Amino acid sequence: MVRRTGRRPGNPDTRESILSAARGAFAEKGFDGASIRAIATSAGVDPALVHHYFGSKDKLFLASMNSPIDPVDIIVEATAGERDEIGARFVRAFLQMWDGPRGSAAVALLRSVVGTEWTAKLFREFILTQILRRAVPRLDLDPAEAHLRVTLAGSHLVGLALARYVIKVEPLASAPPETLVAAIGPTLQRYLTEELPGVFPQV
């Protein structure tokens, strides 16, 4: 058997038992409360092995959720151009992920999230620690406004994913990506960077 390079070393059973222990710990104690040490103990392995397999706690969390993306990647892509194109770039990067090879994993994740209270809690931790805490600072927003701005944008994108890829509502399901960029891009632009009277106190 040919071994693939780097990414998934070691015994697949060990890897799976670490992921299973991580899922339980993150759901029960939250991201901050779950320690690599306790996860390792629960999986019956040495903590060094957890670091060796997954690198950081963030990466272990993303792997335990089967997340097809690291949200930081999408934000890096969205912020790589002009600031007044951030909305369009966001929608485009998001659709590319769902339309690409990682799309089916994303559908599975979204289905599982909504299915039970348990996974909803995990997803809440995902949004808080991976999106709001790690990714959002890169958007360079007013900290007092950043979380509401980003969750407004995020709620729209999650609804789009649900309608287009899970429920498959037409004509949304078959609309060309650039049509959706033209429709939804300005919305995200407004949520992220424009004045929102009635939402935040006016200066």
User: Between residues 84 and 178, which has the closer beta carbon with respect to its own copies?
Assistant: 178
Sign (positive or negative) of CA dihedral 18, 23, 28, 33:
positive
Among 134, 166, 177, 193, binds its own copies (CB under 8 A): 166
Residue keyed to tokens 């151009």: 81
Q: Which two tokens stand for residue 147?
A: 């979380």
Minimal distance, residue 23 CB to its own copies, in Å: 17
Among 15, 57, 92, 164, binds its own copies (CB under 8 A): 164
- Total of residues contacting its own copies (CB under 8 A): 46
Question: Residue 20, exposed/middle/buried by CB under 10 A (0-12, 13-18, 19+)?
Answer: middle
Q: Which two tokens stand for residue 70?
A: 């690291």
Residue 108 in the binding site for its own copies (CB under 8 A): no
Minimal distance, residue 8 CB to its own copies, in Å: 29
Contact 16, 23 (CB under 8 A): no
Which x/- pattern over 52-71 shows residues binding its own copies (rule: CB under 8 A)?
--------------------
Helix (H, G, I), strand (E, B) or coil at 202: coil
Residue 93 in the binding site for its own copies (CB under 8 A): no
Beta bridge partners of 200: 197
d(CA 17, CA 24): 11
Helix (H, G, I), strand (E, B) or coil at 197: strand
User: Between residues 64 and 189, which has the closer beta carbon with respect to its own copies?
Assistant: 189
User: Between residues 93 and 127, which has the closer beta carbon with respect to its own copies?
Assistant: 127
Residue 113 in the binding site for its own copies (CB under 8 A): yes
d(CA 30, CA 43): 17
Contact 68, 108 (CB under 8 A): no
User: Between residues 9 and 200, which has the closer beta carbon with respect to its own copies?
Assistant: 200
Beta bridge partners of 197: 200
Near its own copies in 170-189, by CB under 8 A: 170-172, 175, 178-179, 181-184, 186-187
Could you list the residues that contact its own copies (CB under 8 A)?
A: 110-111, 113-115, 120, 123-124, 127-128, 147-148, 151-152, 154-160, 162-164, 166-172, 175, 178-179, 181-184, 186-187, 190-191, 196-199
